[in-house]
Structure 1
Amino acid sequence: MIYLTRVEHFNAAHKLFNPHWSKEQNLEVFGKCANDNWHGHNYDLHVTVKGNPDPETGFVFNAKTLGVLIKDLIIEKMDHKNLNLDVDFMAGKFTSAENVAIAIWEQLEKALPETVQLHCIKLHETAKIYVEYFGGK
């Protein structure tokens, strides 16, 4: 089994808040991330697929094709957008890094051919914080 990772980058804004809580409780739990005027991140997205190399190409999956899929399905929809308001596949979801990673997985998983499997979504929200998602619920 070979693992191939493609790295992409996007910038996006969001706000962490629970509408069932008071403003004070949201600020206590989420701090600056609950700012009424939003806040932003420079995200680094690592998409890892796995499979066996094709005997004719030597590729598990064409890295350029993977890049096009990521750009079309994820980057074009998320880059310089508000995750809470502008991204169709985030509608009604809490925009934590964890939930963003799961939503990205869901978008990419259905677009990949059967010859390759999605292995991991690693999403760096800051230089010090990242999440990894390996599928499943």
Structure 2
Amino acid sequence: MSNIRITKQFNFETGHALYGYDGKCKNVHGHSYKLNVTVIGQPINDANHVKFGMVIDFGDLKKIVKEEIVDKFDHATVFNKNTPHLELAKELQKRDHSVILVDYQPTSEMMVIDFAEKIKSRLPENIQLHSLKLQETETSFAEWYASDN
């Protein structure tokens, strides 16, 4: 049986700020992110299985990514909790804003690494995460490939 790659795209809006950065992105700002999630596996070969012919049900993949990424990051602001942005984060949280505090600089590169770990931990053992593409603007994106890691 052949290995097949399945890709699903997700969209979400997230704000962030890059503490210590020497350009405009040191300011709080946001992006309309596009996340492409590609998994690889073999289609189910059991004709009696309800998901016969599928690598993974797109709905099952959607559930994982929505719960781990989209539902948490959509319309949230992400800050590195090891910076003075922590004070701003606490103030926003007091005002009922959605804030995510992470252990890393919230660049697309670091976010895609975080997302890969979250998604990998939820996939069925016969399905492997192949790649992620996190696009923050029309012309800028970060990619993660299992084969590189």
Q: Decide: shared fold, TM above 0.5.
A: yes
Letter in 1 for 2:132: I
Determine the C-alpha separation between the residues in 2 that align with 1:76 and 1:47. 15
Output the aligned Cα RMSD: 1.3
Alignment of 1:117-132 (within 5 A): 117-132=128-143
Of Structure 1 and Structure 2, which has the larger fraction of its residues in strand? Answer: 2
Equivalent residue number for residue 61 of structure 1: 56
Using structure 1 for the length normalisation, give the TM-score: 0.85
Unaligned runs of 5+ in 1: 19-25
Letter in 1 for 2:118: Q
Report which of the two structures shows the higher radius of gyration computed on alpha carbons.
2
Determine the C-alpha separation between the residues in 2 that align with 1:60 and 1:123. 23
Equivalent residue number for residue 25 of structure 2: 33
Could you list the runs of 4 or more consecutive aligned residues of structure 1 that deviate by over 2 angstroms after TM superposition?
85-88
Deviation at 1:55, TM superposition (A): 1.0
Using structure 2 for the length normalisation, give the TM-score: 0.78
Aligned residue pairs, count: 123
Deviation at 1:83, TM superposition (A): 1.4
Percent identity reads 33
Determine the C-alpha separation between the residues in 2 that align with 1:83 and 1:62. 30
Equivalent residue number for residue 111 of structure 2: 100
Unaligned runs of 5+ in 2: 47-51, 80-88, 90-98
Equivalent residue number for residue 87 of structure 1: 100
Letter in 1 for 2:38: T
